[in-house]
Structures are given as structure tokens and as C-alpha cells.
Structure 1
Amino acid sequence: MADAISLLKPRTVVGPNLRATGEWALRFDTFLHVRIGGLVRGTCWLILDGHEPVLLQEGDTFMLGNPPPYVLASALDASPRPAQPVLAPDDGIVRIGPESEDDSYLCVGHIAFDDSYAALLTDLLPPLVIVRAADPRGMQLGQLIALLATEVGADGAGGPLVQNHLAQVLLVHMLRAHAGQTDRPAGWLGALNEDGIGTALRAVHADVAHSWSLKELAEISHMSRSAFARTFKDHVGVPPLEYLIQWRMGLARDALTRDTLSISDLARATGYQSESAFSTAFRRVVGASPTKFRNQARKPELASPARQ
């Protein structure tokens, strides 16, 4: 999970917090990747297009994966207005209605990923995940939401850094909760909970340069080759060696974008004995040679004023 999130390069925008009383409703447009949030105090309805409305209560948290438009509202029959014009406060807090200790107090953040790798996570997520305050992980998540809400709008040193890290910690906990409350989560997220397949995945990620064979991965998983190959594909969605190639190419694309290794060094680092074998695999997966991909990644940087 740590490897995948690192490759995703999450970018977090948290807040503003919402404190509302009386009748209110805000409609949020569709957006890419992940929206995450929770209710610090009070209650409100989460109305997601195509889903049954959900009543959120104090301490509940939610995660939306590439969702359609949705509404946060005090009541199901409240008439929504667009959220975007409302969410522009100077102090990090949006207030709807008079100030009151009995208001509904929400903290919501948007986590976006590098588009090249976003499907690594977003393809695994349903549109809506709810973790109730009374669930096994609910107390931890409620505390994280409350702490994140406190940081939004606060004028403390390193505030944006703290918000970014808290949001990413919250994302990981929500992924754990989703994996725990689902019979079989999709892709590698679900496979991590399987003793044999999870062991093989961790081994591949720990040593991507190793010349892994189907036989060796099956032995690590304490399964026959045929049973391992079938079970791996059932859980992860692709055959084991195809997953290995896809992961290696994801790391290679990242390294070429950052221009941190020569192509020959990158070939060895990703388990290829020769630059030509690496280039052939890269071209098959990515659709361009490593050299062409790196040169294209350099263009925006070379065109920037700092380089002119």
C-alpha cells in the first residue's frame, strides 16, 4: 500500500470546514480521484447520485472514489445550491446560518493523484465507503477528522504540511477499513489480506530487481504453480508476471519523469539483464521508448522561465 501511494504522488486540498445550522444543502460537482471527509459534530445527509441517501452522524467518516455529483444537506427535501461559490472563506470555515454550538460541523478534503497511476487506486474503490463511529476503526478515524478540522484555517507553522500528511493517514485508514468490511476488495488491496498472495506481492515489491519466476512466487506462497497463478489472477485481476511487468514499468515511468537514472541503470534496477530487453518491455506497456518518454517528460521543464 505504501509503495502504491508513493507512486500515486497524492496532492491534498483540505477544507474549508463547513459549519451549518437551519435548513441547508450544497451540491458538489463530479471530480476525479478521491474525496474524503467526516462529521465532527451534528448530523447531515450525504446524497450521492445513484445511491440511497446516507445519514451521517458525529464521528462518521466517508470516502468517495471517482464519484458522480453528490449533495450534503440538513434534510432530504432541502433545495441544494452549488457548493463551489459558497466554499471561498478567508478563515478556512464556511458558515451557513447563525453561529451555534448545535451546528453540523464537517471537514472534507480532496486527494488527487498523478493521472498516470491514479487507476492503481481509483479502480479498486467503490463510489462510496462509510465508516461509522461505532465501527472497530471508527474512533481512530473520528479522531483524525477532528484533528484535521482543527488544522484547517489555523495559522500554525507548517499547517499545509500537517494537513497533507493527516489527509494521507486518513486515506490509508479508510483503505484499511474498506478492506476489512468487504468480503473481497478488488485488486492488490484485497490480495494483501490473503496469506499466500499477499506474501508474493510483498516479496515482489521488496525486491523488484530480482528475476522472479512463477515457480519461485508460488513456492513463497506455499501453493502449486497452477493454483497460485489462478488465485493471483482472481484476486489481483492480472497474471502474476504481468503484474510484475506493470509494476516495474510504473516505477520506470516515475524514474524517467524525474530523470534520476540512466536507462541502463534503470534497466538493472527493474530486473532486466540488458537495456534492449528493458526498452522492449517498456515500449510494449507504455507505447513509447524510454528515451522518447524521458524527452517528452523534460519538455515542460525545459520550457519554463527558469530554464530559458
Structure 2
Amino acid sequence: MDPLSEVLSLLKLRSYVSGGFDAAGDWAIRFGPHEGIKFHAVVAGSCWLSVEGELPVQVNAGECFLLSRGLPFSIASDLSLDPIHVSQVLPPNPSGRILSYNGGGDYLSIGGHFTLAEGQADLLLQVLPPLLHVRDQLGSATLRWCVERMRQELAEGQPGDFIVAQQLATIVLVQALRFYLSGRKAENPGWLFALADKRLCAAMAAMHATPGERWTLQTLARVAGMSRTAFAVTFKGTVGLSPIAYLTHWRMMQAADHLVSSRCSLAEIGSAVGYDSEKSFGAAFKRVMRCSPREYGRRQGGKGGPMLRSGPTSSSTHTGG
């Protein structure tokens, strides 16, 4: 599995399509704060998008936008209009289908959101800008096709239509991230931008595939096909962390996932991510996650996750990063 797929799987990404908005004439709709990542894909017409703290942008047919910081925003046919809250245009019992406003026909968009695993969502959200505008460009045929298929699923009312629409929304997110990587230079360092460099991506894929391996700077540089110094400098400049610091961070993300999705002991989880003792694993976990593994397990266990069990220490020869 490639690094981006690994991260999205770890974050328990779930997509939800809330429905479509079909409008005509003059209109302006305001949306409040939100969790996770909001998305809107414009099928026909165009709109002005205003996000708190950002300059307004025009979003045209075939384009979409992602909002990753939960900021209030509004969409409108004209920036001079005073927006009304979305609750004022929704029917009393919204069905999640396409909502018509002023008779519709001029503008159509599909909207929804993505949720991420609590406690680990920052792994993705911190490397995304508050507003990600994916413009119509060469190679975006897949995105346009997905959006059109979502529209058809919502309009036709076939069995299983929302499941299909949600899967299509996930493809829209991945396509948007791909365009973001290929279309602009990183304003701030982050792991996402390392995926655009085949050498760094190879090293990240190796760390993700076998986090319990006895990785060193030298062995990771060899995987990347670079000298030790060049690899260390390039990785730190692109990701914002040293290779070993990133490895430790990824190990703790994996461990956190094990703590809420398995019934393994702390020693077993620590061994799986490269630590030869429960003590060294606990110290590394607390340094990265700002709480002990047991505290994390109890906190998440109260939300429906499995509770930790105690068990014998595994005899591992791995060392922690």
C-alpha cells in the first residue's frame, strides 16, 4: 500500500454526501463551523466562495473545493449579497437529495464531508491549507466523471445510491490531493509533499510497511537511493521532521490505532512498532501523543474502543526510534 493510502486507512476516513444544491437567480448561503473536511463540487454554473480569513474565490463548473479547518464559509451567486444561513433553505426533513432553490437551473453543486479518526486527524489536516481549490485542468476528467456520477446517483434514487456516492466522494478527495501535490509548491513543509518525490516516497513507504524494522538513517537513505547527508537534508526540508522523528511519529500513530482496534497488550503493541520494552515504548508514546498508552486506551475505550489487556512482555530485539 502506498503512503497516502496508508495514512487515509489509518485515519479511518469516512465520506458522507449530504446532497446537491440546485439554484437560480440571486442567492447566497452561509454555513457554520464544521468537523473534518467539507467539500463542494460544482456541476453546473459557478459560485463565489468566501471562507473566514481567506480571499473570495470563484469556483466554476468542473471544479471543487475542500475546507479542512472547520471555518465558517458562504457560497453565493454575487459577493454583494447578504447570505442567509443554510438552515433557512433546508426543508424540515431533508432527504439528502438535490435541493432546489428559486426553481433551480443556473447553478448545481454536490456537497458533503469527510470524517477522520479522533485524535489523529491532525496528521492530514495540518498539511492542508484552510481552502483547497481544485481548478478545472488537464487530467481532471476523473474528478469531473466522479462528480457527474454523484449527481446521477442522487437524482435517480437507485438502491444503494448513497453508498455509491460516498465511494465516489472518496475518489474526489484523493484526486484533489493529487492535484494539490502536482499543481503547486508547498508553502509549508509536511509529509504530504514528500509523496511528490519518488525517492522520499520510497523511504516513507518502507517505514509505513515495516514500522518495527530496525531502521537507521543509513538504511533509509539506501532505500531512497540517496547519500545519507542528502537524504537527511532533503527529507527534513520537505517533511519538516528528520527521517527518524517521522518514523517515531508514524510508529506512535500505528500504536494508537492498535490501542483502540485490538486487544493486544502494551508489550505486544510496543514490539510491533519496534520497541524492545514496554517502558521504552511508553516513554516514546507519551513524548509524541502527550499521554501514556494506558491513558490513551482508557480515553478511547470510553468511546466504544476495546480496553487494553495486560500480558507478558514480548521478547523482541527491536529498538525504538
Q: Structure 1 length as normaliser, TM-score?
A: 0.89
Q: 2:10 touches 2:254 (CA, 8 Å); kept in 1?
A: yes
Q: 2:18 touches 2:96 (CA, 8 Å); kept in 1?
A: no
The answer for the alignment partner of 1:139 in structure 2 is 141
Indicate whether 1:238 and 2:229 are aligned: no
The residue correspondences of 1:84-233 to structure 2 (distance < 5 A) are: 84-88=87-91, 89-90=94-95, 92-99=97-104, 102-133=105-136, 135-152=137-154, 154-184=156-186, 186-233=189-236
In structure 2, the gaps of 5 or more residues are: 306-321
Worse overlay, 104-113 or 145-154: 145-154
Question: Structure 1 residues 299 and 69, CA, compared in 2 at 3 Å: closer, same or farther?
Answer: closer
The Cα shift of 1:189 comes to 1.2
Q: 1:13 touches 1:111 (CA, 8 Å); kept in 2?
A: yes
Question: Structure 1 residues 91 and 126, CA, compared in 2 at 3 Å: closer, same or farther?
Answer: closer
Taking every aligned residue pair, what percent have the same amino acid on both sides? 33
> In structure 1, how many angstroms separate the alpha carbons of the residues matched to 2:57 and 2:284?
46
> In structure 1, how many angstroms separate the alpha carbons of the residues matched to 2:172 and 2:90?
22
The Cα shift of 1:67 comes to 5.0
Question: Structure 1 residues 188 and 106, CA, compared in 2 at 3 Å: closer, same or farther?
Answer: same
The Cα shift of 1:97 comes to 0.6
> In structure 1, how many angstroms separate the alpha carbons of the residues matched to 2:294 and 2:71?
38
The Cα shift of 1:145 comes to 1.2
Question: Structure 1 residues 165 and 221, CA, compared in 2 at 3 Å: closer, same or farther?
Answer: same
Q: 2:149 touches 2:165 (CA, 8 Å); kept in 1?
A: no
The answer for the alignment partner of 1:281 in structure 2 is 284
The Cα shift of 1:147 comes to 1.2
The answer for the alignment partner of 2:65 in structure 1 is 62
1:63-119 alpha-carbon deviations (Å, 9 max, x no partner): 2221532221111222210113323433612111124xx421111111121231111
Question: Structure 1 residues 241 and 274, CA, compared in 2 at 3 Å: closer, same or farther?
Answer: same
The Cα shift of 1:279 comes to 2.3
Amino acid across the alignment from 2:51 = L
Task: Let me know the Cα RMSD of the aligned residues.
Answer: 2.2
1:229-280 alpha-carbon deviations (Å, 9 max, x no partner): 2211111111111111111111111111123423232122111223332223
Structure 1's consecutive aligned runs of 4 or more residues displaced over 4 angstroms after TM superposition are: none
**What is the count of residue pairs matched by the alignment?**
300
1:136-161 alpha-carbon deviations (Å, 9 max, x no partner): 23222111111122223654333332
> In structure 2, how many angstroms separate the alpha carbons of the residues matched to 1:4 and 1:243?
13
Question: Structure 1 residues 38 and 292, CA, compared in 2 at 3 Å: closer, same or farther?
Answer: closer
Worse overlay, 120-129 or 270-279: 270-279
> In structure 1, how many angstroms separate the alpha carbons of the residues matched to 2:120 and 2:304?
20
The answer for the alignment partner of 2:21 in structure 1 is 18
Q: Structure 2 length as normaliser, TM-score?
A: 0.86
SS of residue in 2 equivalent to 1:56: strand
The residue correspondences of 1:70-89 to structure 2 (distance < 5 A) are: 70-88=73-91, 89=94
> In structure 1, how many angstroms separate the alpha carbons of the residues matched to 2:303 and 2:133?
40
> In structure 2, how many angstroms separate the alpha carbons of the residues matched to 1:91 and 1:272?
48
